[in-house]
A and B are shown apart, each in its own frame.
Chain A
Amino acid sequence: MAKTNIATFKFGLTDVDSAKLKTECDLAVEEITASNSKDGYMARGKALIGVAQKYQSLIGDDPLKLDEMFKGNTASTGTRESLILQAMAYETMGKGAVLEDPKQGAEFMQMAYNFRRQLGDSGDEDLNLMKAYSRSAKCWICGRPMSGEGVHFIAAPSNVTPMFKKGSENDIIRSYTDDCRSIYICLPCYTAISNRADAISRNYYNQAMTEMRAMEVRLEAEIAEVRSSVALVRR
């Protein structure tokens, strides 16, 4: 497009400004590059924010011609695209940051939620993640405090009897859910128990299989013996 001297051209009934379309194409390329960046979540998020900034400053409230031409969408504008990219950027950073710092992850998800709201979306997914990342609990097994439900700890189904509930009713951070039907377990405890349970199960499985194979051999020998007896009787 940069090589042509055409200032405007017609696409169907739409007049398209070549320079503006070129800007849009350049930004679309930058957007794809930023989205596919392998430089880590923070770098990817910041790159997306950089592209969002360009959409805002270079296109602003003007409609995006690419969307109009190829998707028939006339409601898309530079500002709207900028908000979408910022929401995506904070979602990327939130989902990455939660691994090291759940509170920071929750803050990023909150920003993403606010951007989604500005776009007119419900933003419920971001809100739920924000709530989960910021939720704090104490591990029922090791007693360590932790944040980030679903990432650093999980709620495992269990029966918390009134006696246990009574003993920790005044705790600020609890180790069981409000309905007393699950206990919180941190990921290290959970994976340690889970791995050990897997190893034990595997051991029992192997033991059972060995015994079954021995039984199989024994049964096959008995069947062969019965068959030979039957053959002898027939003669």
Chain B
Amino acid sequence: MDEMVALRCKYCGAPLDKKDLEDDSPYVTCPSCGTTQQRVDAKAYLDQLMGQVRSWINQAIPGGAMMTQSENVDSVARYNIFVNNVRPKVDLEYGEYRFALNSLISHSMIVLPFSTDQSLRPGHTSAQAFEFGAKMKEIEPLAVDQDSKSMISGAERASDAYALLINNCKLLQEDKPGRYLLLANNFSAAAKDFSTMDGYQPAQQRFDALSKICLGCDKLLNGDVPSSLGHFGQGLTGLQQAAQGLMGSLKVGIMMQAVDLEIKQTKVMNEIAGFLQGGSDPLKTLAAIRSLFTYQYPSAGNWGYLLNNRDRFSEVFANMSACLAARNGSETVPIAAGGGDYLVPFWYVKLDYSFQTGSLWKKHGVQVSEDLLIPADFVVDAGCLNDPATAVTDVFSSRVQQGMFAGITGSETSISNSQGIGKIAQSAAPNSIGGRKVIVPLSTKREAERLVEQYVQNVAAREAKLKLSNPEVKGLIYIPCNRTGDSYSVPADFGSLTPQRVARTNLPSLVII
């Protein structure tokens, strides 16, 4: 039976569950990677693994010192063997694994339901890391003094935690049913390993919290919303505690950015669960979430880097979360005045610029402040990315009439005209969504800034009068619009400045809640 308990998964190298092994079934399922295999295959893998471990030990220690009799070998001899033969080899390999572990934990290690993360690339396979742990277990009897014992124990724990996290990286790369339970198991076991390592307490807190969050996701996807809310709440608290301990932690301070991102993602999940509990159609909402996470964004030109960066999702999720909260009535979003059954998000931009007017001694600069709006779904339209003017209310396309000689005499007050855009923007006030449908913003503030910067650059290239400019994206406002076919019509105050993107909008392809 002891041998059965020690069986290892032939796919990832993880120890198999004792309960499964006691069963009579010829098949066993790995609790870490979720793969089902024949018992005989697991036994064969164990034999192969132990062969590799023995070969490694034979290379490390001088001939004659048998591990099976190591307890009987004089402690001074064991100490000398360890210090002179084993420790240098362990030091080298452990250094590599520790480096890889630290690199791995500096990444966010959770994904929202239906999404995957292909960016995680561990430096080793889980089988390699588990094998290193097995080697450490085998050489344990050689460690006589406290220092050696703690070194071996630390190496064993670190490699075990690393192997479990590698398995989680694989699980994060594939959206398969039941993955959140496996993720939770692995995070929980890794947290247990970190709990015994000096200076790794924030890591223990983080992975314990992630385990709870994964359980919450599993419950959420299985329709048990109240339980998921409890798990998310506990997970969020755990991550916040971990974040407090991270700054200044010389061992795991590198996790700070990752934990911040995980906190944002957990808040979104909490909002989703809250929304589902509010009585809305869970299937419909989950479908909306799925489409948000699996959206295919254009990756052309300079936009590829921004749009393929998964950090952007935290802001997109936060905006979606705000919409859900406003729908629940727990929060508000800025909504412009007017009637319409659809609330369409626009980025509100304040554009301050200066231009030169007049000639000869009349030449001088004039400062102007304009209001711009950008449909917040512009990132799904390659046309907008290639020609920013089609995604903004193009204020430089129309001018206030100022007479023929205004440019010569220097009496021009503006080279642009934002018509009624300012009126719309200023009417926006915090409000709840009520019974209206809301389109989820798909772009981030940084992306809106970039778009408007490119727009102003293009204008400056053709308009020599334009000198300095300072576009500032103030934030999102939701404008009530009416649906017309698969698109929508904007309020009359847009005048002739309606962005071309509006006509190109295909509502069924957007995320609407």
Residues of A within 8 A of B (CB): 12-15, 46, 49-50, 52-53, 56, 83, 86, 93, 103, 106-108, 110-111, 114-115, 117-118, 130, 134, 136, 145, 170, 172-173
Contacts and interface: CB of A to CB of B under 8 A. Distances in A.
A12 B88 contact: no
Contacts of A13: 352-354, 367, 468-470
9 contacts: A13-B468, A13-B470, A46-B248, A50-B248, A53-B247, A103-B95, A110-B102, A118-B257, A172-B60
Interface in B239-284: 247-248, 250, 253-254, 256-257
Interface string B91-116: 11001001100110010000000000
A170 B91 contact: no
A56 B254 contact: no
B102 A172 contact: no
Nearest to B60: A172
Nearest to B453: A74
Contacts of B472: 15
Contact of B89 (A15, A52, A106, A172): A172
A12 B470 contact: yes
Nearest to A49: B248
The 8 closest A-B CB pairs, nearest first, are A13-B470, A13-B352, A53-B247, A114-B254, A172-B89, A172-B88, A114-B106, A173-B88
B85 A172 contact: yes
Given A56-B247, A103-B95, A111-B254, A14 B470 contact: yes
Chain A's interface: helix, strand, loop or mixed, by majority? helix
A49 B470 CA distance: 33
B251 to A, nearest CB: 8
A49 B253 contact: yes
A114 B102 contact: yes
Given A86-B253, A172-B89, A118 B470 contact: no
Nearest to B84: A145
A10 B428 CA distance: 25
B496 interface: no
Contacts of A49: 247-248, 253
Nearest to B255: A114
A103 B98 CA distance: 12
Interface in B455-485: 468-470, 472
Contact of B103 (A12, A15, A53, A114): A114
Nearest to B251: A107
B59 interface: yes
Contacts of A103: 91, 95
Given A12-B468, A12-B470, A114-B254, 9 more contacts: A13-B353, A50-B248, A52-B247, A110-B102, A111-B253, A117-B106, A118-B106, A134-B95, A172-B60
A179 B59 CA distance: 22
Contacts of A173: 88, 92
A149 to B, nearest CB: 14
A136 B470 contact: no
Nearest to A111: B254
Nearest to B258: A118
A46 B253 CA distance: 12
Contact of B254 (A93, A115, A172): A115
A136 B91 contact: yes
Contacts of B91: 103, 136
Interface in B195-249: 247-248
A93 B103 CA distance: 19
A106 B470 contact: no
Contacts of B59: 170
A136 B469 CA distance: 57
A133 B102 CA distance: 17
B285 to A, nearest CB: 28
Contacts of B98: 107
Nearest to B89: A172
A173 B88 CA distance: 7
A161 to B, nearest CB: 24
Nearest to B96: A134
A134 B470 CA distance: 49
Contacts of A115: 254
